[in-house]
Every structure is written in C-alpha cells, then in structure tokens.
Amino acid sequence: MPTSALGVWLKALRGDLSLRELAQRSEVDHAYIYRLETGAKESPSGEVVNKLVNALAPAEREQAILRFLASHPNIDPDLAEFAWSDRRISFPEFHMLTTVVNRGARPDYATSLARIRRIMAEEDDG
C-alpha cells in the first residue's frame, strides 16, 4: 500500500500496467518506480517526472496533480485518494485542499472542498 500521496497517485495512474511495463515505457528503473509508489523515495527529479508523464499520458488534471505531488512530499495520502475518487475536483481545488489546516483527529476533505467551492463561487460573483 502506498504510504505517500505521490505513491497513491502514481499507482492509480499506472492502473493495469506492471512496474516493468511502465519502466520500459518511461525508461525509469522499475525498482525506483516501486520505491516512489511505496513512499520509500520522494521528490523525484523533473526529468523522472517528465518521463513518467510521457509514458502514462495522463489527462491534464492528473498530470498537474502528479507534478504537484512530486514536489510536495508532505501531502496526506488520504487526500490523494480522495481526489482520485472524485474526478470533478479540479487542480486548483486540490491545491487549495492541500493548504487547509485540519484541527481534529481526521480531516474532512468533503467539507473542506464544499467550503472552497463556496468561496470560489463568491469570488466569481463578486
């Protein structure tokens, strides 16, 4: 199970591709990809991220989040899972969710997202 947000996102993007298939497509060592997925390695270089993006060819939103997570290793893996499960969450909304400070035992991303959307709608209206 991935222990980093980047790992969650990368594994989800990989889908049915094996680590070796992604390694061949991206020219990134399969063991390194595995370490990224498990959280043993964080913050890959821009070159590695570019190779993975080119090999996976994700949609713009998924690509933006992958690049963001690659340079922000302290993001909660649960937030990455939450964003993956709801494709309607835009990158700007995701980015804002990463900045929300949750005081309590467990973050409530759905409530925070609703607040963010309300604020963004108010800014658009005003």
Amino acid at 26: S
Closest to 51 in 3D by CA, of 29, 73, 78: 29
Does residue 110 contact residue 38 with C-beta atoms inside 8 Å?
Answer: no
Class level of CATH domain 5-125: mainly alpha
Minimal CA–CA distance to 50: which of 40, 63, 39?
Answer: 63
Question: By the 8 A CB rule, do 66 and 49 touch?
Answer: yes
Q: Give 15's pLDDT tier (boundaries 50, 70, 90).
A: very high
Q: How far apart are CA 53 and CA 67, in angstroms?
A: 9
Query: What's the whole-number average pLDDT of the chain?
Result: 93
Which band of pLDDT confidence, cut at 50, 70 and 90, is reported for residue 50? very high
Q: Where in the chain are the domains? A: 5-125
pLDDT at residue 119 greater than cutoff 60: yes
Two tokens, residue 20: 């070796």
User: pTM of the full predicted structure?
Assistant: 0.91
- Checking if the pLDDT of 125 tops 80, the result is no
